[in-house]
């Protein structure tokens, strides 16, 4: 999910220099075709490694940045139960980020390096988190739509060819279903509530629908690296396939809530048995992706500030550990 959109700036594959490398590459492709899992110590083409590092780290960044729009409402959640559930959800997102950073580290990049890429603006993360959460209903909309879209993408990745990434996704998928249900339940409560609550829910849907649709990335015709990622079984379905699946599942849910999807062109196509949506505004998508969305600055600034402000804490822990280790060594020598 958080990476479909971002798969547009890949690196060129490194030219294989020797016959050995060519044979290894052929064996690698055969393993992929046989649906074998690739593990950290296995030989892999450099392009495969780099694609995965980019995709997994971007996914991790998205989880981490994603803690912020919802975290914004923890202190203002309107009931204790909602507060606890929201805290648990945001905590899960942090945990998901950690599973993914963990998986990426098996490929030869360090957490510090990945974090540096995020904070410097060099790395991308899902643009959906650059939108503000303006009302409590936004928390519901994010759970229902954004997590819904994420689940759609994440389930196929559970079968991706790289072992650590696939395993991390299995853990994440198990934990994700409560996230979407939590969001939908909030929307349902609001939609069935007072006039003001209904209006709040409708307003949130109006603002989150199109960004959620765009989460699936550019249409297949405009997505350059889909073919290679699919051959290597990193990506299992195309952007358009996933987007259509999401639309078909979500529109009836909105109908159940008796909320209106903000798309006058939306209609059911009897012939194809699919919902058809109106035109997507890709200018908006590219603007937000480039860093000119409503909250891009704030999100990165918040993470940068937390990291900067926390430097003395991280150093203290390292210093303390070093001192403890020295003490233990000295003690061991004395006792020897």
Partner 1 sequence: MSSPAPDPSTADWPLFEVFIRSRSGLEHKHVGSVHAADARMAIEHARDVYTRRQEGVSIWVVRSADIVASDPGESEALFEPARDKVYRHPTFYAIPDEVKNL
Partner 2 sequence: MSTAAAAPARRDRALNEALFRYVLRLADTSLVLGQRLGEWIGHAPALEEDLGLANLALDLIGQARLLLTYAGEIEGQGRDEDALAFLRDAPEFLNLTLAEQPNGDFAHTIVRQWLIDAWQIEVYEGLAGSADTRLAAIAAKALKETRYHYRFSSGWLARLGDGTAESQARAQQAVDSLWRFTGELFTADEIDERMAAAGIAPQLAAAAERFARRVAEDLNQATLARPAHQPYPWHGKRGVHTEHLGHLLGEMQHLQRSYPGVRW
Contact footprint for partner 2 (CB under 8 A): 64, 67-68, 71, 74-84, 87-88, 90-91, 94-95, 97-98, 101, 136, 189, 193-194, 196-197, 302, 305-307, 309-317, 319-321, 323
**What is the torsional sign of CA 87, 142, 9, 170?**
positive
**What is the torsional sign of CA 244, 289, 65, 205?**
negative
Site string for partner 1, 103-122 (x = CB under 8 A): x-xxxxxxxxx--x------
Which of these, 168, 53, 166, 40, lies nearest to 110 by C-alpha position?
53
Smallest gap from Cβ 217 to partner 1, in A, equals 27
Tokens standing for 331?
């003690």
Q: How far apart are CA 279 and CA 276, in angstroms?
A: 10
Tokens standing for 223?
């997505």
Q: Which of 10, 13, 45, 95 binds partner 1 (CB under 8 A)?
A: 95
SS percent in the chain: helix, strand, coil, step 5: 70, 0, 30
Site string for partner 1, 9-28 (x = CB under 8 A): -----------x--xx--x-
Of 64 and 214, nearer to partner 2 (C-beta) is: 64
Smallest gap from Cβ 244 to partner 1, in A, equals 33
Q: How far apart are CA 38 and CA 133, in angstroms?
A: 39
Instruction: Choose among partner 1, partner 2, none what residue 105 binds, the Cβ cut-off being 5 to 8 Å by kind.
Output: partner 1
Instruction: Choose among partner 1, partner 2, none what residue 67 binds, the Cβ cut-off being 5 to 8 Å by kind.
Output: partner 2
CA 223 to chain centre: 18
**What is the torsional sign of CA 1, 287, 247, 87?**
positive
Smallest gap from Cβ 321 to partner 1, in A, equals 4
φ, ψ (nearest 5 deg) of residue 162: -90, 115
Positions touching partner 1 (CB under 8 A) are 20, 23-24, 27, 40-43, 88, 91-92, 95, 98-99, 102-103, 105-113, 116, 164, 167-168, 171, 175, 311-312, 314-315, 317-321, 324-325
């Amino acid at each position: 999910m958080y990476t479909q959109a971002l798969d547009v700036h890949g690196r060129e594959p490194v030219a294989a220099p020797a016959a050995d490398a060519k044979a290894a590459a052929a064996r690698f492709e055969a393993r992929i075709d046989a649906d074998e899992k690739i593990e950290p110590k296995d030989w892999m083409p450099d392009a495969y490694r780099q694609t995965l590092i980019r995709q997994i780290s971007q996914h991790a960044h998205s989880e981490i940045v994603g803690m912020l729009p919802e975290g914004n409402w923890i202190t203002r959640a309107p009931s204790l139960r909602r507060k606890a559930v929201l805290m648990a959800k945001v905590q899960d997102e942090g945990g998901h980020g950690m599973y993914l950073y963990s998986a990426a580290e098996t490929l030869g990049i360090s957490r510090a390096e990945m974090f540096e890429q995020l904070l410097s603006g060099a790395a991308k993360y899902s643009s959906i988190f650059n939108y503000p959460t303006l009302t409590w209903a936004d928390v519901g909309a994010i759970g229902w739509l954004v997590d819904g879209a994420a689940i759609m993408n994440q389930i196929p990745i559970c079968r991706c060819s790289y072992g650590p990434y696939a395993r991390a996704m299995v853990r994440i998928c198990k934990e994700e279903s409560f996230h979407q249900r939590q969001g939908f339940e909030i929307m349902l409560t609001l939609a069935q509530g007072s006039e003001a609550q209904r209006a709040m829910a409708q307003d949130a849907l109006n603002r989150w629908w199109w960004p959620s649709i765009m989460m699936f990335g550019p249409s297949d015709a405009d997505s350059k690296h889909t073919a290679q990622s699919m051959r290597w079984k990193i990506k299992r379905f195309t952007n358009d396939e996933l987007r259509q699946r999401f639309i078909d599942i979500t529109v009836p849910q909105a109908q159940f809530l008796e909320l209106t999807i903000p798309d006058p062109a939306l209609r059911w196509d009897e012939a194809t048995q699919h919902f058809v949506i109106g035109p997507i505004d890709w200018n908006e998508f590219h603007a937000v992706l480039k860093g000119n969305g409503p909250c891009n600055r704030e999100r990165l600034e918040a993470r940068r500030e937390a990291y900067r402000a926390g430097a003395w804490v991280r150093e203290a822990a390292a210093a303390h550990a070093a001192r403890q280790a020295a003490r233990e060594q000295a003690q061991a020598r004395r006792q020897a």
